Structure 1
Amino acid sequence: TAIESTAQRCKKNPIYSPKIVEQSQITAFDKSTNVRRATAFAISVINDKATIPLLINLLKDPNGDVRNWAAFAININKYDNSDIRDCFVEMLQDKNEEVRIEAIIGLSYRKDKRVLSVLCDELKKNTVYDDIIEAAGELGDKTLLPVLDTMLYKFDDNEIITSAIDKLKRS
């Protein structure tokens, strides 16, 4: 889409950032799922707090890909406010796994303890994403130490697990 193309240009030259913000005011509300998803992607490339209300709106989109890209844009730009956190808490129950993972990561990096039980459940699954293990370390809740210790014997790649454990022990 045109907005994705503009975002790619913005990576090379930030002078295009205001154009993305301007276009996003329209495209974030487009009837096309692809356009809304492209908008969330494009917003992820820039770091402009003026896009936060648009991203919050996109977090509530009926399409999972749109919600996922909106959450990614918020996380990559490290935006934070109570509305974002509240949306992320709602997204912990999302049927789309990628959306749920972004919400877990977002709340963990913001040290929001409302993610603790869902994060703990994710860590106990047979397949655990590296991002989830890193999020456990970022949350800073030492009650996760026994779960991470158990994971040391369950998985082959222990470097990320050990790093998360060390981070928790220092918190």
Structure 2
Amino acid sequence: MGKKTERLFRELQGDNKKRAEAAAVELRLLAPRHYPRLLALADHPRATVRARLCSALGQLGGYDDSGPRLTRLGVPTLLRLLAHDPRARVRAAAAHALARGYHVRPGMLPALFAAAHDPSKRVRRGVCQALGGMCWDEGVTAPQCQQLHDIFLENLSSPDPYLRNWTAFFIHCKKLDSPALRAALWRLVDDPKDAVRAEACATLGLLGDRAIVPYLARQFESGTVWSWNLDAAVKLGDPAFLPALRRLRKGYRKTHWFYKSVTTALQAIQSRVL
């Protein structure tokens, strides 16, 4: 084993946090022959090292060219840590690594479904990211789709604004729709968190719910908007958006990318009105 690889393993297990984090990133270039040694850290007595292992596996999953082998070895390790590690920080790191570095497959769903109700908020957040980022059209069964739907429905009523926010975002990304989800999204239209309100308005608009028009226009007035709020306005094509969008655009320089995005949305809506 080369000196650099030895150094990375040493720093990953050391006490210097910054060096350990840097080592986790550099390990994305680790040769496959070293995977067994890396995966053995899943049984390290220090929770800090186990969490760093998860971070390294997330990096490897995103960059490694020998993906099938790494997935075969690394994913079971992450799922085991997610399900059974006694420390919440390790379970959370495993969930975020799965979300960041791997394509979530149907076979991973049972562990993720169980972890969606983990007592740790950090774990639930990582699971939300993993479930939201998966491709649902690749072998997911109808019962699994229903479980995903039910978990997202629970998240929309979570006291954690992170879960409410990201779940609303993932619903329109995945084009999920049901009366129960719409009712939950409507409850978020008056959420105390501005970012959550913005996501709920965008999602309802992208689902074609025209009743959201005055609420989405009000969101443009608040200034907390994302590009998909503009997409929702264009899809609905209502002239009620035009004054709010013009005022929103005044807050940006003409060279700013969002100024151009608002201009494009204005032009699209105007072309439908005329």
Alpha-carbon deviation of 1:112?
0.9
Task: Identify which of 86, 92, 96 aligns with 2:189.
Answer: 92
Q: Does 1:3 align with 2:91?
A: no
- Identity over the aligned pairs, expressed in percent? 23
Task: Identify which of 145, 164, 169 aligns with 2:265.
Answer: 164
Q: CA RMSD in A?
A: 2.2
Letter in 1 for 2:253: D
Q: Which moved more, 1:50-59 or 1:18-27?
A: 18-27
- Asked if 2 retains the 8 angstrom alpha-carbon contact of 1:10 and 1:45, the reply is no
Q: Report the Cα distance in structure 2 between the residues aligned to 1:100 and 1:133, rounded to whole angstroms.
A: 14
- Asked if 1 retains the 8 angstrom alpha-carbon contact of 2:99 and 2:126, the reply is no
Which secondary structure state, in structure 2, belongs to the residue aligned with residue 147 of structure 1? helix
Q: Report the Cα distance in structure 2 between the residues aligned to 1:119 and 1:31, rounded to whole angstroms.
A: 34
Higher radius of gyration, 1 or 2: 2
Residues 41-92 of structure 1: CA distance to partner in whole angstroms, max 9, x if unpaired? 1111113271122111111111111212222222222222222221111101
* Match of residue 239 from structure 2: 142
Structure with higher RCO (Cα < 8 A, 6+ apart) = 1
Letter in 2 for 1:78: K
Alpha-carbon deviation of 1:20?
3.6
Q: Report the Cα distance in structure 2 between the residues aligned to 1:164 and 1:154, rounded to whole angstroms.
A: 16
Letter in 1 for 2:155: L
Q: Report the Cα distance in structure 1 between the residues aligned to 2:271 and 2:108, rounded to whole angstroms.
A: 41
Q: Does 1:36 align with 2:124?
A: yes
**Structure 2: gaps of 5 or more residues:** 1-91, 137-143
Q: Which moved more, 1:58-67 or 1:161-170?
A: 161-170
- Normalised to the residue count of structure 1, the TM-score between the two structures is 0.83
How many pairs align? 166
- Normalised to the residue count of structure 2, the TM-score between the two structures is 0.54
Letter in 2 for 1:17: R
Task: Identify which of 146, 163, 172 aligns with 1:66.
Answer: 163
**Structure 1: gaps of 5 or more residues:** none
Which secondary structure state, in structure 2, belongs to the residue aligned with residue 95 of structure 1? coil
- Asked if 2 retains the 8 angstrom alpha-carbon contact of 1:28 and 1:39, the reply is yes
* Pairing 1:95-134 to 2, within 5 Å after superposition: 95-125=192-222, 127-131=223-227, 132-134=229-231
- Asked if 2 retains the 8 angstrom alpha-carbon contact of 1:7 and 1:42, the reply is yes
